[in-house]
């Protein structure tokens, strides 16, 4: 157990005091991953910094051509927020597949990203939305592409004390489709997942992005399939696109599924997505 938990309400207070705390400190948001880490004996930090009530991290707001979604926004808020529904509907859609209501009311989008799981539903949606992540270290910000610092399960390229402040999604009129295969219908971890964002202009696909979960060490984009689908009629492109997407991945066999099943699921999901369009 940590010896104590420090609670913050503003970024200013966090940056004022953070360097004076013991060096084995860790951020706490909803705690749904961190508390499990602790109970498995994998967290030895002596102080947790509770960032779940920092005002800036709870914001969802328009910012010129983008929307900003704070890292401490709860998963359940993504479902009904009007800005998210209009400009980042993939995030609203992921909620219905995401754990149970109690977890959704506690877990945050920032924690989902920081945990860097290959099956993270929030990251799957953010990747298809081509979101960027805003990082903050002692009040100095940097903005990077969403998947550029995700290196594998629980491996994310953050500097010491670097905070995920939030996510930036550009305001584009794209539709989205979110699909997740679980062991059961609800409350499960993905065997494989697919999220697709696109526009349809005169029967042709435009501006396609496709992300996949649980088929690689982290969430990935299917870039060759995206390129192929650009400007194509969705039903005519179906056979070739489903073949291409299988060639883009080489998933592992593990306790949740086999490699072959994962490849089939991804291809079936893409086929269903293109049929539905």
Contacting positions for ligand FAD (CB under 6 A):
26-34, 36, 51, 71, 98-99, 103, 107-108, 110-112, 114-115, 120-122, 163-164
Q: Cβ distance 256 to 191 under 8 Å?
A: yes
Instruction: Give least dist CB 173 to ligand FAD, A.
Output: 26
Please, which residue, 89 or 115, has the CB nearer to ligand FAD? Answer: 115
> Closest residue (Cβ) to ligand FAD?
111
- How far the first Cα of the chain sits from its last, in Å, is 50
Output the CA angle 44-50-51, nearest 5 degrees: 130
Instruction: Give least dist CB 34 to ligand FAD, A.
Output: 4
Please, which residue, 71 or 242, has the CB nearer to ligand FAD? Answer: 71
Q: Cβ distance 270 to 242 under 8 Å?
A: yes
Instruction: Give least dist CB 260 to ligand FAD, A.
Output: 24
Please, which residue, 34 or 249, has the CB nearer to ligand FAD? Answer: 34
Helix (H), strand (E), coil (C) string for 91-131: HHHHHCCCCCHHHHCCCEHHHHHHHCCCCCHHHHHHHHCCC
Please, which residue, 34 or 237, has the CB nearer to ligand FAD? Answer: 34
Instruction: Give least dist CB 231 to ligand FAD, A.
Output: 33
Output the CA angle 11-101-56, nearest 5 degrees: 15
Closest residue by Cα to residue 143 from 168, 118, 122: 168
Instruction: Give least dist CB 149 to ligand FAD, A.
Output: 11
Please, which residue, 123 or 205, has the CB nearer to ligand FAD? Answer: 123
């Amino acid at each position: 157990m940590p010896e104590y938990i420090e609670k913050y309400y503003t970024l200013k207070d966090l940056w004022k005091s953070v360097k004076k705390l013991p060096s084995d400190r860790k951020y706490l948001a909803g705690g749904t991953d961190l508390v499990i880490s602790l109970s498995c004996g994998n967290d030895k930090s002596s102080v947790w910094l509770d960032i779940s009530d920092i005002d800036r991290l709870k914001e969802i707001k328009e910012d010129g051509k983008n929307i900003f979604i704070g890292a401490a926004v709860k998963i359940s808020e993504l479902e009904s927020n009007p800005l998210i529904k209009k400009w980042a509907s993939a995030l609203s859609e992921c909620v219905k597949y995401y754990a149970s209501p109690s977890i959704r009311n506690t877990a945050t989008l920032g924690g989902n990203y920081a945990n860097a799981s290959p099956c993270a539903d929030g990251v799957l949606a953010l990747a298809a939305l081509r979101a960027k992540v805003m990082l903050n270290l002692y009040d100095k910000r940097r903005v990077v592409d969403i998947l550029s610092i995700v290196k594998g399960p629980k491996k994310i390229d953050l500097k010491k004390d670097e905070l995920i402040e939030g996510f930036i999604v550009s305001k584009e009129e794209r539709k989205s489709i979110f699909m997740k295969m679980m062991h059961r219908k609800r409350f499960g971890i993905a065997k494989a997942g697919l999220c697709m964002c696109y526009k349809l202009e005169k029967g042709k696909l435009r501006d396609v992005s496709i992300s996949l979960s649980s088929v690689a060490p982290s969430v990935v984009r299917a870039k060759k399939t995206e390129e192929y689908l650009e400007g194509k009629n969705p039903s005519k492109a179906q056979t070739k696109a489903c073949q291409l997407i299988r060639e883009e991945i080489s998933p592992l066999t593990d306790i949740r599924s086999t490699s072959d099943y994962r490849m089939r699921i991804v291809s079936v999901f893409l086929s269903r997505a293109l049929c539905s369009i």
